[in-house]
A and B are shown apart, each in its own frame.
Chain A
């Protein structure tokens, strides 16, 4: 069983200070949960540029290529000669290319969102519904060598309102 403690904070500055102190004390497995997006918390969690952008770019490129290929393939398999114009007509096919670029780009961004954020995550994980309303919570996961009493002390001193212990299956 993996051991965790979950601390709830009423104020975001207390919460951020506690997270910074835990980091400084060498606790590695820290999860910060907030009821709204908080750039400071993301920075503390060491998150900068998201890999989602790679999914968007690769999806858009694949979409563009497949859009042009689809229009070309349809034109070749069902030939409609019109007024001496070429069978593979670039300007109208660019519209299809453009739309497919966006379609596959959007779908791959969605895929990227799920992969990078780790969702769906329906397993039982430390969570209190207050952290989706008006509280800020820190989950500290302990390795065998970690001093859990120290973590509790840091959290208490920083102003944690409630601290609960949580054991989740490995």
Chain B
């Protein structure tokens, strides 16, 4: 039976640290499954692709972008969860974020790592990746910073570095709590990670300022990252992609997908790590409201996209629209609309919004819809372009499908490592939400 009473400060330390320090067989079974799936479905097919070449993927002359890039957009999108919860809600002073933001930040970091892996997978000859870095090389090549692809390299590198530092810096006081609660090698290790943190007024004061500056840096960074990803598509002249709405469309979709991802992760953490006292209905309620707002904005932008395509008056845009709505991939399009625009309307009902099980299902459906959206963007526009005689077709190969499935296992494995490495709920920030320890009270 879950204990829903407000915890004391010492309870917070005990409850949250036990998620790290106590590891049962269930954890190792899940970890074994995810790491095996990651190896078999992601890394082995990728190694096979190194061996036989990028032709192992279903991409062809017309469709030079495929599932790898649609997955890349999906994972980058999922990474926007942490930014929203950590940075935006920190700046706006929303206290309810405190119990859930650490895991959201971890989602950001690991989604980004998974997304970065997809860039490597898509490259084919990954051993030449250093050519995108401005350093001297034997070919005498230097990166062309006029290309949106190089914007991407810069944006993702910056986002990865900023997210890592953001999560690390916010965890320093909690690493000190781990240090104090452990012995032996773990104690020595966490003494290093916590930098000798003692919780002095000077340390808290500096952390508060630095954290706020990080938040200020990270918010425009997140917006720029997904805008830049959208420009990879929108700066081409391909019908269906060459649209000015793409940047806000991508950013909104990213935050939407990330917020749904947070609901999924919170459900699992709450259930599996017995964190019912910390991850509560208020979090679900507020995340539900955010999801409704985001779903409405996302639906509006989708309607706008259809309208601008129709209003353009060009036959190419008409054809791109017709293929998307009624062509081979039309069932996927309507599935996306159902999962991302219609199903979330159920969240308007408070009964559904406050039900963990129902919200979990809805959050999964939203992310299936968002993954589909990314696939549709890549598969319905770019293989067809202008000349009907040169229209191509894209369908993912077995290697691509396996790598797609494997990417979820890679993410899950990284997240499972994280929850044993860092307290998945911020100890000191949860204490801030509790009744203060005052004699007068």
Contact = CB atoms under 8 A, between A and B. Distances in A.
B224 interface: yes
Interface in B135-164: 140-147, 150-151, 154-155, 157-158, 161-162
Given A96-B154, A110-B210, A133-B10, A33 B198 contact: yes
11 contacts: A36-B429, A44-B201, A71-B145, A74-B143, A82-B146, A96-B145, A105-B213, A106-B214, A110-B210, A119-B196, A122-B191
Interface stretch (B169-177, B284-292, B309-317, B399-407): B169-177
Interface stretch (B29-37, B321-329, B433-441): B433-441
A33 B203 CA distance: 9
Given A103-B162, A133-B9, A11 B196 contact: no
B207 A117 contact: yes
A13 B438 contact: yes
Contact of A134 (B10, B158, B221, B224): B10
Contact of B428 (A14, A37, A136): A37
B191 to A, nearest CB: 7
A101 to B, nearest CB: 9
B291 to A, nearest CB: 28
A132 B142 contact: no
A134 B8 contact: yes
B145 A109 contact: no
Interface string A88-111: 010011011011101101110110
Contacts of B195: 114, 119-122
Interface in A121-160: 121-123, 125, 127, 129, 131-134, 136, 159
B231 to A, nearest CB: 9
B270 interface: no
B169 A113 contact: yes
B307 interface: no
B145 A74 contact: yes
A31 B200 contact: yes
A132 B176 contact: yes
B134 interface: yes
Contacts of B146: 75, 80, 82, 89, 92-93
